[in-house]
Chains A and B, each alone.
Chain A
């Protein structure tokens, strides 16, 4: 009996994703050069920057899916919102962790409370932890809980443009540099490795979202089956 949440297509996707991560490791550690200012620590940015962008992608997807769910009331959208919120929170936690590990040798500190980007990213992480806690809370009215969580997700998503623009809006209150990626101020192999990182993490988001969506779908089906069974039992009892 096939119990996997994988399908033929997700297996192919999983293989391509694994290959792209192997390529990322090869390029990050053996092909791309040391940075003039950061030295070998630049290799941390090949996961830190894609993790940060992946966090944005997941949370924006969650915000859009939550909005569509509130409008269309289709449970599909809620499953997408839940899946992307959970994956985004893993990415966001890892963004904070890898950022702290990178900051220690480069900024000489693990954390800086005065840095607007760090603090707003932490707030985003805590908001989505709250979203997930709300989803996990037992409730006498689960539908109301889901709608409340959708509103929380939409409100939390507003933090993303603030995080993204913080280095421009508060230039004297951040240790972060302005975007070097958009202005192409980085070397060819460094740029290529970063793009490879975006590709690998993008595939990981798709692969994980499909699997997590199917888990949410299965949980919903189990709830429906239990309700159907309870109704059937009730009907049988009333017939007697």
Chain B
């Protein structure tokens, strides 16, 4: 007996939820970052982490 419909529904809904949540977290992060000076954003202070790339 094939369960492919159930399997795909489970996997796709999980990945869709992850993608949506990740999108909103990253977007909120960018919007908040614009209001906070770089000096107070500790993770972009040090070494190779501050090379100007905007990609996640």
- A interface with B by C-beta (< 8 Å): 1-11, 14, 25, 38-41, 43-44, 47-48, 51, 90, 93-94, 97-98, 101-102, 104-105, 204, 208, 211-212, 214-215, 217-219, 221-222, 225
Q: How long is the Cα–Cα vector from A41 to B11 in the complex, in angstroms?
A: 11
For B1-17 the 0/1 string (1 means CB < 8 A from A) is 11110110111011001
Q: When the two chains form the complex, which single residue of B7, B38, B54, B55 contacts A44, counting CB atoms closer than 8 Å?
A: B7
With A5-B43, A218-B36 as known contacts, state yes or no: A14 contacts B56, CB within 8 Å: yes
Q: When the two chains form the complex, which single residue of B1, B11, B56 contacts A10, counting CB atoms closer than 8 Å?
A: B56
Determine the chain B residues whose CB is within 8 A of the CB of A102 once the complex forms: 6, 10
Q: How long is the Cα–Cα vector from A110 to B51 in the complex, in angstroms?
A: 50
Contact B18 A204 (CB under 8 A): yes
Q: Which residue of A lies closest to B46 (CB)?
A: A7
Contact A101 B6 (CB under 8 A): yes
> How many residues of B sit at the interface, in one of the four size bands?
35 or more
Tally of A-B Cβ pairs under 8 angstroms: 129
Contact B30 A4 (CB under 8 A): yes
Contact B6 A104 (CB under 8 A): yes
- B interface with A by C-beta (< 8 Å): 1-4, 6-7, 9-11, 13-14, 17-18, 21-22, 25-26, 28-30, 32-36, 38, 40-44, 47-56
Q: How long is the Cα–Cα vector from A43 to B9 in the complex, in angstroms?
A: 11
Determine the chain B residues whose CB is within 8 A of the CB of A39 once the complex forms: 1-3
Determine the chain B residues whose CB is within 8 A of the CB of A222 once the complex forms: 32, 35-36
Q: When the two chains form the complex, which single residue of B10, B21, B26, B48 contacts A90, counting CB atoms closer than 8 Å?
A: B21
Q: How long is the Cα–Cα vector from A9 to B43 in the complex, in angstroms?
A: 10
Determine the chain A residues whose CB is within 8 A of the CB of B29 once the complex forms: 3-5, 211, 214-215, 218
